[in-house]
Amino acid sequence: MKKNIVLFVLFILPIVAYLFFASGVNGFTKLPTVTPNTADFGNWQSLDGKKVTLNGKVTVLGFSGTELLKNRGNFFNLNQKIYQTYHKFKDVQFVVICPIGTEADAKKVVDALAAFTDVAQWRFVFASPDEITSYHSQLKLLEKLDDKLGTPKVYIIDKKRNLRGRKLVKDTKEGYNTFHPAELSNEMLDDFKVILYEYRAALKKNNNATRKI
């Protein structure tokens, strides 16, 4: 009996541990692509007048709809659970697509957030109803916008403009509901970490290759 235990500890346990950690690393370092090569914003006007682009940025993308102030609690949830921790990363931005005519409401939301947050990475862009509907359609999401052109969900877009999420056996996790803080704290936070880890790992790999050269 003792001999079997010793053999298990020496030979079997290390193999089991290796398979466990190897599968964990592989699962952690890659988040599936839900929709590849999504469109950029073009020349849509932004709240601060600066051009907003998805290129070269890890973007949390949302659609405010016309009832932006009514749903402002969703932005505060996202701000507290995700933005506050990661807004200092220079390649991260939080972009909200809003209908033209809601600029004043967007400004009120930004001013409220600015009371306790550096809002530099919050970006609000404005488009016509047709442009918003068309843009949302090309994301090829299962869920549609509501009749106010909004949704409580936000989506993760990587630096190459790929929409990223979870591809489950029976379902696909396309976005994260900002109405539910627990979903942001758990599922979205985990997935956002994966995206950032991907780029850190790639950067480290490139730096190591440069040193070898």
Average pLDDT for runs of 10 along the chain of length 213: 52 47 46 95 94 97 97 97 93 97 98 96 97 97 95 97 81 89 95 90 60 40
Name the helix (H) or strand (E) containing 200: helix 189-212
Structure tokens at 127: 């488009």
Q: Tell me the CB-side half-sphere exposure of residue 84, using CA atoms within 13 A.
A: 14
Name the helix (H) or strand (E) containing 202: helix 189-212
Q: What's the Rg (C-alpha) of the chain?
A: 21
Name the helix (H) or strand (E) containing 107: helix 103-114
Distance, in Å, from the CA atom of 45 to the CA atom of 172, rounded to the nearest integer, reads: 32
Label each residue of 106-151 as H, E or C: HHHHHHHHHCCCCCCCEEEEEECHHHHHHHHHHCCCCCCCCCCCEE
140 φψ region: left (φ > 0), alpha (ψ -120 to 50), beta (else): left
Distance, in Å, from the CA atom of 70 to the CA atom of 64, rounded to the nearest integer, reads: 10
* Structure confidence at residue 25 (pLDDT): 37
Distance, in Å, from the CA atom of 119 to the CA atom of 23, rounded to the nearest integer, reads: 38
Q: What is the pTM of this model?
A: 0.82
Domain residue spans of the chain: 33-212
* Structure confidence at residue 92 (pLDDT): 96
The domain 33-212 is placed in CATH, from the list 3.30.590.10, 3.40.30.10, 3.30.420.40, 3.90.1150.10, at: 3.40.30.10
| Residue of 155, 196, 161 lying closest to 61 (CA atoms) | 155
Give phi and psi for 56, each to the nearest 5: 75, 15
Number of neighbouring beta carbons within 10 Å of residue 171: 9
